[in-house]
Amino acid sequence: MTAQLLQSNPLSDSSPQTRLLLIEDNDINRMFLSDYLSYFRYDVKSLPDASDVFATLDNFQPHLILLDLKLPETDGYLVLKQIKQKSIYAQIPVIIVSAFAFKTDQERAIELGACHYFVKPVNLEQLVQTIAEVLAKST
């Protein structure tokens, strides 16, 4: 399965690395997902909360954002809304990766501008495929 996933990797050895911003408060989930996506040669910057999100967006300039909705001291919906309201960030695709499984949560995130929604535990193969598809559409 790993070899199959590597073959579907949208990046080639000669292409510049695609930058992904991962905002996830759970240390284990953040480290695992960051390592997993790095294996596919994505340049992953991860944040444990949203306190530095806009400075990171300015400095790191990600091609895609993976966002958890349950964050300390703020709510991921608010972060998503703020990202999509700022014209310099609005074009960055946001994929939600959340334990919130209710349809209303998914609908709200999509209405606020998320392009995709994954419920934890995430099917990693589907996540990598979706990232590749979203990035292909946004280029």
Sheet containing strand 19-23, edge to edge, reads 43-47, 19-23, 64-67, 94-98, 116-119
- The residue written with tokens 């995130």 in the block is 109
Domain boundaries, the chain: 2-8+17-138
**The pLDDT of residue 8 is above 90:** no
Q: What is the mean pLDDT of residues 89-116?
A: 97
Q: What is the pLDDT of residues 15-40, one digit of tens each?
A: 569 999 999 999 999 999 999 999 99
Query: Residue 104 belongs to what H/E stretch?
Result: helix 103-111
Helices (H), 2-52: 2-7, 27-39
User: How far apart are the C-alpha atoms of 68 and 71, rounded to whole Å?
Assistant: 7
Q: What is the mean pLDDT of residues 91-108?
A: 97
Return the CA Rg of the chain: 14
Q: What is the mean pLDDT of residues 32-52?
A: 97
Query: What is the fold, at CATH topology level, of the domain defined by 2-8+17-138?
Result: Rossmann fold (3.40.50)
Residue 11 identity: L
Helices (H) and strands (E) in the chain, counts: 6, 7
